[in-house]
Structure 1
Amino acid sequence: MRRPRRLLKNTAAEASQFRRRAALAFAGVVLALAGLALWYFRLQVLQYEDYATRSEQNRIKLSPVVPGRGLIYDRDGRILADNVPAFRLEVTMNEAGDPAGWLPELSKIIALTPEEIAGFHEARKATRGFKPVPLKMRITPDEAARFAVDRWRYPGVEIVSYLNRRYLHGALFAHVVGYVARVDADDVKAMGEDIANFSHTGKTGLERSYEQVLRGGIGYEKVETNVEGRPMGLVGRVPATPGADLRLSVDLDLQKAMVAAFGEADGSAVAVDPRTGQVLAMVSKPSYDTNLFVNGISHADYNALLNDPSRPLFNRNVLGGGPPGSTVKPMVALAGLDSGLRTAEDRTFSSGEFFIPGQRRGYRDSHRGGHGWTDLRQSIAQSVNTYYYKLALDMGIDTLARYMHRYGFGEPTGIDLAGENEGVVPSRDYKRSVSTEPWYPGETVIAGIGQGYWIATALQLARATAAIANGGDLHELRLVEARRDGYREPWRALPATPSTRITDNAGHLRAVQEGMVMTVHGPRGTARALASAPYTIAGKTGTAQRSSRKGSVSADPRSLPYHLRHTALFVGYAPAEAPTIAVAVVVEHGGYGGSAAAPIARAVFDAWLLGKMPEGFEDVERPPPPAADGEAVNGPDDAAADAPVARSTTP
C-alpha cells in the first residue's frame, strides 16, 4: 500500500493572508470608530439644540397664557361686555390617557352634564394631544375642593383660572355685540391651529367681526415640573398681549328706548347720525340672552330659540329685508328730478286707479277716490301711488334701477357685521336670474312704490334717509367708533370711508325734503300723528303688503290673519332744519306705517333730542348674570291717511 505524500507548509502565503485579514479587521474597527465618532458629532453638535430642547421639555412645561379679551363700551363709556374671574376644568390628553378609564370616576367628584361630556369629546378630536381641552367651563368652590383631594389620581387634569365673558345687558345688544362661545373644529379649520390656544372665540355680531382685535395675542409660561409632571415653580414667562377695547357709536339709553317703544311688536329699527353714518341704536326684535351661549347652551334652551316662530336668533337688520313700500318714494322722486323727467312743480292726476296704456288692469291708489292733481311734494306727503306708477313707467326699469343703486339700495351699507344682505333692486338682470319670463311693464309700475321684486333692509333705508337729511352724502354705516390698545392708552378713532354723493342738485334735494316735512306737518300727511312734537320731523310712511286685493276690494290689514298683515314702515329724520338723527323702523304684521311704525320713530326722536323715555323704559334692562358663573303684489300701498291714528308711546 502506497503511503500519501506529505504536503509542505506555505509560510509566506499564510502570512500574506493574515496581513489581509488584519487589515480588513483594522479597517472595520476604524470605520466603526469613525461611525461612532460621526454619531456622537451628530448628537452633540448637529442635533444638540433638538435634544437639548427635548430634555428641557421633560423638565419644563409650556403653559399658554390666554390674554384678557377686549372690553366693549357704548359711546359714553358704559360697559356692554366685560370679563369676570372663573375656573374651568382642563384635560391634556397626552398625560390623561383614554377618557374611558378616568372620566366615569371624575364624574362622581365633579358633576358633568351630557352636553359638557359631548362638547369635550368633540373638542379633543380637533385639538392636538399636548394642548389642554376644556371639560367643564364653570367649577364651583365645592367642586374645586373635592377635586383637590383626589388630584393625584388624575394626571393631566387641572383646574385653571380664566376670565369669562359677560354681557351686562343680555338681550338688549344681542344682534349688535353678539356673543363668544367655545372653540370647535370648524373654528380651527377656518382660523388655523392658533385659535385652539383660546377656549372661546367670537361667533356672532361685533364679537365675530372684530375677533382678531378683541382676542389679543397668546403668551406662555415656563413651568418647572417634577418626574410626575407636577408643577414646581415658574422659570420664565412670555407675556400675552391683551385684546383691544372697542367703543361703539351706539347709545345705551337710546337702545333701551327703541326696544321699549316696540312694546310687544316684532321688527327692526336703526338710528344713525346723518352727519357721519355712525349707528346710534340698532334693534332686532325679538331677541335673546347672549349669556346663554358663552359656556355652551343647553339643548332645551337652544331648541326653545330655534322653534320660536318669531325667530329671535335672526338678525333682521343685517340678514333680513323685504319690500320697502312707500318709504322709497322720496328716492324715486329724487330720481325723477335728477333724470330730468320731472320738475318739482310737474303735476300728475290721481283718479284712484292707474292704467298702463293699452291694458285693462288697474293699479290702485291709497285713496279710493284719488288725490286729484298732485305735485312732487304732495305725492310724498300723501303717498300718492299714481304719481309713482306713472313716473316709474316713464323712467323705465333700467333707469330706475341705476338711480336706486346710486342711493345705496342693492349694495352693502358697510356695517361692520358679517353676512350683510345686499338686498335686491328690481331689474331685468335680477328677474332673468330667477325666472324665464320677460320683464313686464306692470313690474316697473309696482317697483315705483317699493313693491314687487324689491328687497331692502332697514340699514339701507336708514342710510338713504340719512343721505337726504345731510344734503346728499351717502356714508358707510359703522358701529365701532374707536379702539384702545391698552387701558392706559388713548382712544383712537377708526378711519372713516369717504362718502359718495347721491345728487349734486341742492334744489332737487330740497324739494324732496319739503315733501317729507309735509308728511308729518302737512294737513293731509300720512304721519301727522307726529306733528305734536316740539321739533320739526321729516319722514315717510310705508306699508309693504303681504296679501293683495280681490277684484276691486282692498284688504284691510287689521281684518287679516296675523301672519298675513302688512309690514309697517317709517323713515325720517329730525330736527329737519339741522338733523342729528335719522331712523328706519320696520314693524312686522304692523298694518299701516303711520299708525304702527311712526310712533316708534317718534319715541326714538324724543329720547335722543329731548331725553324723554317711553313707557317701559326701566323694565327693558335685565340684571347681569352672577359673576361666578313675502313678495307683495298690486294694491293700496299706504292708506294711513284714512286709518285711525295710534297715540304716541311717549308719556
Structure 2
Amino acid sequence: MAPRRRSKNPHAEAEQFRRRAVLGFVVVAVCLVGLAGWYFKLQVLDHDEYATRSEANRIRPRPVVPGRGTIYDRNGKLLAENVPAFRLDVTPDKVKDPAKLIADLRAIIELTPEDITRFEATRKATRGFRPITLKLRVSEEEMARFAVDRWRYPGVELVPYLTRRYPYGDLFAHVVGYVGRIDEKDLEALGEINAALTHIGKTGLERYYDEELRGRIGYEKVETNVEGRALRVVGRVPAQAGTDLRLSVDADLQQAIVHAFGELEGAAVAVDPRTGEILAMVSLPSYDPNLFVNGISSKDFRTLNENPSRPQFNRLVLGGVAPGSTLKPLIALAGLDSGKRKPEDTVVSTGMFYLPGTSRGWGDASRRGHGVTNLRKSISQSVNTYYYRLALDLGIEQFDQYMEHYGFGTPTGIDLRGEIGGILPSPQAKLKSRKERWYPGDTVNVAIGQGDWKVTPLQLVRATAGLADGQLRRPHLVSQTRVGFDRPWESLPQPASIPISPNPANVEVVRLGMMDTMQPGGTGWRVASGAQYLMAGKTGTAQVVSRRGTAAVDPRSLPMHLRHRALFVGFAPADNPTIAIAIAVEGGGYGGSTAAPIARKIFDAYLLGIMPEPPVPAAESATPGAAAPSASAAPTSVPPAPATPKPATPAQATPAQVPPSTQEPRR
C-alpha cells in the first residue's frame, strides 16, 4: 500500500526560514561587531605597540662601541693605542644551522678550535638577536674570499673595529697590562648595556681603570630591507670615547732599568719622593702583552706557564722578600723617635751577639767586629749588633707599631689591582701561622730584616722616599686624565701625605747615615765613586735558605733559585732628592756587589741622561712572549743612548770572610 504524503505547510516553512535568517543575521552582526572591536583594539588601543613593532622590523638598533682610551707616558709617548681591524660577527637568530654555517665558513676563513669553542659558549649565554664575534682580526685575504660569497651566509657580517696594540711590547707588560676577550663572567658583571663590548681590561692599569678607559656605548638606528640588510642610518645616539691616561712613568728610564739589569731577574721601582709619582717600575723577566689581546694560543700560554722564571708574575705588587739590611735606616729612625736612642749613643760590636744566658750567637757583617758604633756608623757599615740591641730595647710591640707606620704589613694603595700587604712579623702572626709563641731570638732576627718578614719593592721604595722627603706618600702611576683628544689634561687628586717622623732632625741624622753608606768606609762606597752627585743608600741581602748550625753559606755555591736576594734602597741627589729607588735582584748574591751597581746606572740615567749600554743578547729564548731583560726587548721607538762605563764593584765575600753565626750577616 503506497505511503500517504504529508501536505506542505507554507506558513510553518516561512516561519522557520525567518527564524533561521534572524539567527544568521545575529551571528553575522556579532562577528562584524567583534571584528570591528578587534580592529579598534589594533588600530587605536594597541597602536603604539604595533607601530613600534613595525618600525623595529624596518629600523634596528646597532651598538657603537667607542674607542678605548689611550695611555701615554709622562713625555707623551704612546704606551697603549687602538689600531683598525675587522672581525667576523654572527647573529644567531638569523642562522638556521650554526654547525653547518661554521663548517662552510671554515672553508674560506681560518677558524681555530678556540674560536669555535668560545663562540658556542657565548651563543648559549647570550640572547639570539645580539651579534657574537666568531673571529677577531680577519685578514685581508680572508675578507676578500668572504666578500665573493657573502650572500650565502645570512646573519654573518664583517665589522670594523679598533683593537688594542702595545707598541713597547714587554717593556710595560706589568704596568699597563693588557685587554682580553670578554668571557661569560665578564658579561655577567658588565650587564646588558655593555654586552656589545668585545674586550675588557685583564691586568695592570687596563684593569684598574677599565671603566674609565672603555667609555660609554652608543647606538645607531639602521634602516634595513626585508632580508635584514642595512640600507641607511636614520638616527644616532653618540658613543662617549674612553678616558685617556697620562702616566708619571718615563719610558726612557724604564728601558734604562731593563738594560741595567742585563740578564738578571728581579724587580725595581723608582719614584719622585716629592710627589709619590712612579717614574719607572720593572719586573723581570717580562712577556709580550700583545699575545693576549685577541686570545693567546694554547701552545704559547702553556709555554709561558711552564717557564720557571714566571714571566707573568708581577714581582712589584705580588712578590715579597725579606728586606734584609735595607730596613736598618727605618729601625734607626724608630729608635730616635721612641727615645730609646740618641744619635751619639754607641754600642760595641765584637763580631758576635749573644742573648743573656744563651750560647747561640748572631753574627755581624765583620767577623772581627766593628768596634764602637753610633747610629750613622751602624747604617753606613751595616752593623747588626746595633740593631739587635735596639730591637730588644724597643720590644716587638713598639717595633711593629713603627714598622706599620712606615707602611709595612699593608698595601701601599698604588693604582694596580691585587697588591699584597706582605707580612709584618708579630707574636700574633707567628701564633696564627705556626702555632708557636714569640721568643727574644725572633726579635733579634727581625731586627736585621730576617725571620718572617715579607715586603714588596713598592713598600720599600715608599718608605725610602719618606726618608728622602720627610713625608710618606701614596705611590701612583696615573697623574693626569682627559676625556677626548681635544680636551685639556686634568690632574688626579692624590691623598694627603703624612710625616714619616714628628722630628725632622731625626730624619736628617738617618739621611746622613745613608749618605755615609755611599762614602769611603760604607758598604756602597765603590759604586758611588766618581759620581757627579751625592747619593744616599742602603745595601741589603736576604737569604732564601736557612743556615744550619754555624756553617757559613757561600751564595755562589747554591742553585740560582736558592741564592740570596740582593737588595738596595736609596735616593739622589742626597742634598735635594728627586728620585728614590728600591731594587731586588733574585739570585744576585750580595746587595753591595749586585744591586748597588744597578742603582748607580739608574741614577746616572735619570740625573745625567747617561743610559746604560744594552747587554749582549743571550741565546734566543724558546719561550714565546717571555722576554728576557735584554736589548732585544727594546722597541724601535727608543733611540740608542751613549753608554756609561760600568762602575767598579766590590768583590763578593768568600766563605772565610763570613763570620760563623746562626744568621747570615746582611749588607
TM-score, normalised with respect to structure 1: 0.90
Alignment of 1:413-428 (within 5 A): 413-428=412-427
Distance 1:541 1:233 in 2: 69
Q: Which residue of 2 aligns with 1:5?
A: none
Name whichever of 528-537 and 322-331 sits farther off.
528-537
Does residue 386 (structure 1) correspond to residue 385 (structure 2)? The answer is yes
**How far apart are 1:548 and its partner, in Å?**
2.7
Alignment of 1:520-531 (within 5 A): 520-531=518-529
Q: Residues 537-596 of structure 1: CA distance to partner in whole angstroms, max 9, x if unpaired?
A: 000011111123332222111122222100110000000000000000000010101111
Alignment of 1:58-97 (within 5 A): 58-97=57-96
Name whichever of 234-243 and 455-464 sits farther off.
234-243
Q: Matched residues, percent identical?
A: 59
Distance 1:47 1:401 in 2: 73
Q: Residue type matched to 1:396 in 2?
A: G
Does residue 489 (structure 1) correspond to residue 517 (structure 2)? The answer is no
Distance 1:98 1:391 in 2: 78
**How far apart are 1:522 and its partner, in Å?**
3.7
Name whichever of 526-535 and 502-511 sits farther off.
526-535
Q: Which residue of 1 aligns with 2:330?
A: 331
Q: Which residue of 2 aligns with 1:508?
A: 506
**How far apart are 1:39 and its partner, in Å?**
5.1
**1:303 aligned counterpart, secondary structure:** helix
**How far apart are 1:362 and its partner, in Å?**
1.0
**1:317 aligned counterpart, secondary structure:** coil
Q: Which residue of 2 aligns with 1:12?
A: none
**How far apart are 1:498 and its partner, in Å?**
0.6
**How far apart are 1:45 and its partner, in Å?**
4.5
Distance 1:33 1:512 in 2: 101
Q: Which residue of 1 aligns with 2:656?
A: none
Q: Which residue of 2 aligns with 1:605?
A: 603
Distance 1:342 1:452 in 2: 24
Distance 2:375 2:187 in 1: 56
Distance 2:36 2:372 in 1: 107
Distance 2:96 2:347 in 1: 82
Alignment of 1:20-99 (within 5 A): 40=39, 42-99=41-98
Q: Which residue of 2 aligns with 1:535?
A: 533
Q: Which residue of 2 aligns with 1:222?
A: 221
Name whichever of 190-199 and 342-351 sits farther off.
190-199
Q: Which residue of 1 aligns with 2:12?
A: none
Name whichever of 306-315 and 44-53 sits farther off.
44-53
Q: Residue type matched to 2:223 in 1?
A: E
Q: Residues 121-172 of structure 1: CA distance to partner in whole angstroms, max 9, x if unpaired?
A: 2332332221111111111222111111111111111001111111000000
**1:421 aligned counterpart, secondary structure:** coil
Q: Residues 446-498 of structure 1: CA distance to partner in whole angstroms, max 9, x if unpaired?
A: 11111111111000000000000002x11011100101111110000011111
Distance 2:244 2:597 in 1: 36
Does residue 191 (structure 1) correspond to residue 204 (structure 2)? The answer is no
User: Is the alpha carbon distance of 1:39 and 1:345 closer, same or farther for their aligned partners in structure 2, counting shifts above 3 Å?
Assistant: farther
Contact 1:424 1:453 in 2 (8 A): yes
Q: Residue type matched to 2:182 in 1?
A: V
Contact 1:183 1:196 in 2 (8 A): no
**How far apart are 1:109 and its partner, in Å?**
1.0
Alignment of 1:105-124 (within 5 A): 105-124=104-123
Q: Which residue of 2 aligns with 1:573?
A: 571
Does residue 638 (structure 1) correspond to residue 666 (structure 2)? The answer is yes
Q: Give me the CA root mean square deviation.
A: 2.3
**2:161 aligned counterpart, secondary structure:** strand
Q: Residue type matched to 1:607 in 2?
A: A
User: Which runs of no fewer than 5 residues in structure 2 stay unpaired?
Assistant: 1-14, 616-630, 638-660
Distance 2:391 2:306 in 1: 41
Q: Which residue of 1 aligns with 2:405?
A: 406
**How far apart are 1:34 and its partner, in Å?**
7.6
Q: Residues 511-539 of structure 1: CA distance to partner in whole angstroms, max 9, x if unpaired?
A: 10011001111423345322321110000
Does residue 621 (structure 1) correspond to residue 640 (structure 2)? The answer is no
Q: Residues 184-220 of structure 1: CA distance to partner in whole angstroms, max 9, x if unpaired?
A: 1121123323332111111000000111111111111
User: Is the alpha carbon distance of 1:467 and 1:30 closer, same or farther for their aligned partners in structure 2, counting shifts above 3 Å?
Assistant: farther
**How far apart are 1:29 and its partner, in Å?**
9.2
Q: Residue type matched to 1:332 in 2?
A: I
User: Is the alpha carbon distance of 1:438 and 1:99 closer, same or farther for their aligned partners in structure 2, counting shifts above 3 Å?
Assistant: same
**How far apart are 1:37 and its partner, in Å?**
6.5
**How far apart are 1:427 and its partner, in Å?**
1.0
Q: Residue type matched to 1:102 in 2?
A: L
Distance 1:94 1:45 in 2: 31
Alignment of 1:154-169 (within 5 A): 154-169=153-168
**How far apart are 1:61 and its partner, in Å?**
1.8
Name whichever of 519-528 and 381-390 sits farther off.
519-528
Q: Which residue of 2 aligns with 1:464?
A: 463
Q: Residues 415-438 of structure 1: CA distance to partner in whole angstroms, max 9, x if unpaired?
A: 100011111111122223212211
Q: Which residue of 2 aligns with 1:172?
A: 171
Distance 2:285 2:316 in 1: 12
Q: Which residue of 2 aligns with 1:4?
A: none
Distance 2:327 2:42 in 1: 77
Q: Provide the aligned length of Structure 1 versus Structure 2.
A: 613
Distance 1:36 1:509 in 2: 94
Name whichever of 350-359 and 48-57 sits farther off.
48-57
**How far apart are 1:620 and its partner, in Å?**
4.0
Contact 2:448 2:666 in 1 (8 A): no
Name whichever of 535-544 and 229-238 sits farther off.
229-238
Q: Residue type matched to 1:613 in 2?
A: M
**1:585 aligned counterpart, secondary structure:** strand
**1:97 aligned counterpart, secondary structure:** coil
**1:142 aligned counterpart, secondary structure:** helix
Task: Pick the aligned partner of 1:590 from 578, 588, 602.
Answer: 588
Q: Which residue of 2 aligns with 1:206?
A: 205
User: Is the alpha carbon distance of 1:147 and 1:388 closer, same or farther for their aligned partners in structure 2, counting shifts above 3 Å?
Assistant: same
User: Is the alpha carbon distance of 1:99 and 1:365 closer, same or farther for their aligned partners in structure 2, counting shifts above 3 Å?
Assistant: same
Distance 2:432 2:124 in 1: 42
Distance 1:344 1:196 in 2: 64
User: Is the alpha carbon distance of 1:290 and 1:634 closer, same or farther for their aligned partners in structure 2, counting shifts above 3 Å?
Assistant: farther
Q: Which residue of 2 aligns with 1:630?
A: none
Distance 2:449 2:263 in 1: 27
**1:318 aligned counterpart, secondary structure:** coil
